[in-house]
Amino acid sequence: MPEVIVIGSGTGVPSLNRASPAILLKTKNTFVLLDSGPGTLRQLLKVNITFSQLDLILYTHFHPDHITDLIHFLFASKYTPGFQRKTPVFIWGPPGFLEFYNKLKQAFGSWIEVSKDKITLAEIPPGSLWAYEDIYIQPFSTFHTPHSQGYCLHTEGKKIAYTGDTDFDLSLVDAVKDADLLICEASFPASQKVEGHLTPTLAGELARKANAKCLLLTHFYPECDAIDIGAECRQSFTGPLYLAQDLMHIEL
Ligand SMILES: [Zn+2]
Ligand SMILES: [Zn+2]
């Protein structure tokens, strides 16, 4: 059955306890990485996975805490001695992703230009449907930046939804409906709510309205670690609840 590993449960705030955002989905045949904040590739080594084993990388948006290790990934793909691939790594993101990549190339030049037999980049817009090996992928719009999006991944009879960063909107309920696992951001306590982000209570409300079977809260700013995150979430959601910790495994 599919397995989810929290690679980083934190944000852009440097923390010894919480690495920057990244989630790994392991299916029978495939390793999928969702976002890669700074330090993700090193963090993956702690669960015995090297960057070279990744098959598909999905980005939710272009904030540095979610995408910085793309630079590291490209550089490592080019300059790790002996590194080869039978098939390219697919790297997909929201509309604007290719422009973002071209700007990175302007900054770093040929140091991050990797041959097409090793990587393939594409934009996959909200509302489209994609397949990779044993996984169907549906991006959906989120409420954070003009192009931010989350992903529903369908595999082995399970639906896994990942919001990335978002504020609350009822359209999210439809997008993540009946997820077996909803991986949802919960950046700040209700008393310090920030526009463009959720609170544990709002994340719980989304899970309840969407009839999620299980909820995993992540993307915790230090303010969240100063409160009882679970208690705030329990005001709106009574189902199975995980509070992300780095390197936590969840089997579906
Ligand atoms: Zn973020
Ligand atoms: Zn963000």
175-227 residue pLDDT tens: 999 999 999 999 999 999 999 999 999 999 999 999 999 999 999 999 999 99
Question: SS3 sequence, 211-231?
Answer: CCCCEEEECCCHHHHCCCHHH
Q: Is 35 part of any domain?
A: yes
b/e for 123-159, b at 16 or more Cβ within 10 A? bbebeeebebeebebbbbbbbbbebbbbbbbbbeebb
Question: What is the tally of structural domains in the chain?
Answer: 1
Strand partners, 137: 130, 153
Please name which ligand lies nearest the alpha carbon of 21. 1
Q: Which domain holds residue 58?
A: 3-244
- For residue 159, is pLDDT > 90? yes
How many angstroms separate the Cα of 127 from the Cα of each of 130, 151, 165, 182? 10, 10, 18, 18
Amino acid at site 11: T
CA distances from 249 to 26, 214, 215 (A): 10, 14, 14
By three-state DSSP, how is residue 119 classified? strand
Give the DSSP letter of residue 111: G
Tell how far the Cα of 91 is from the centroid of ligand 1, in angstroms.
19
Pairing of strands 119-123, 56-58: unpaired
Whether residue 233 has pLDDT greater than 90: yes
Ligand 2 centroid–CA 63 distance in Å is 5
**pLDDT value at residue 84:** 85
Paired tokens of 86 = 């039978």
Task: Please tell me the number of Cα atoms within 13 Å of 95 on its side-chain side.
Answer: 10
243 membership: H or E segment, kind and range: strand 241-243
Give 157 Cα–ligand 2 centroid separation in angstroms: 30
What are the pLDDT digits (tens) for 113-147? 999 999 999 999 999 999 999 999 999 999 999 99
The percentage of residues in the chain with a pLDDT greater than 90, rounded to a whole number, is 98
CATH code of the domain covering residue 135: 3.60.15.10
Looking at the chain, the number of H-run helices and the number of E-run strands are: 8, 14
* pLDDT for 169 beyond 90: yes
Residue type, 83: F
Is the per-residue pLDDT at 230 higher than 90? yes
Q: How large a percentage of the chain has pLDDT more than 70?
A: 100
Q: How far is the CA of 28 from the centre of ligand 2 (A)?
A: 30
Predicted confidence (pLDDT) at residue 155 exceeds the cutoff of 90: yes
250 assigned to some structural domain: no
Q: For residues 46-66, give the mean pLDDT.
A: 97
What is the average pLDDT value for the chain, to the nearest integer? 97
Residue 164 CA, ligand 2 centroid: distance in Å: 8
**Residue 86 Cα, ligand 2 centroid: separation in angstroms?**
33
Nearest listed ligand to the Cα of residue 61: 2
pLDDT of 12 reads 97
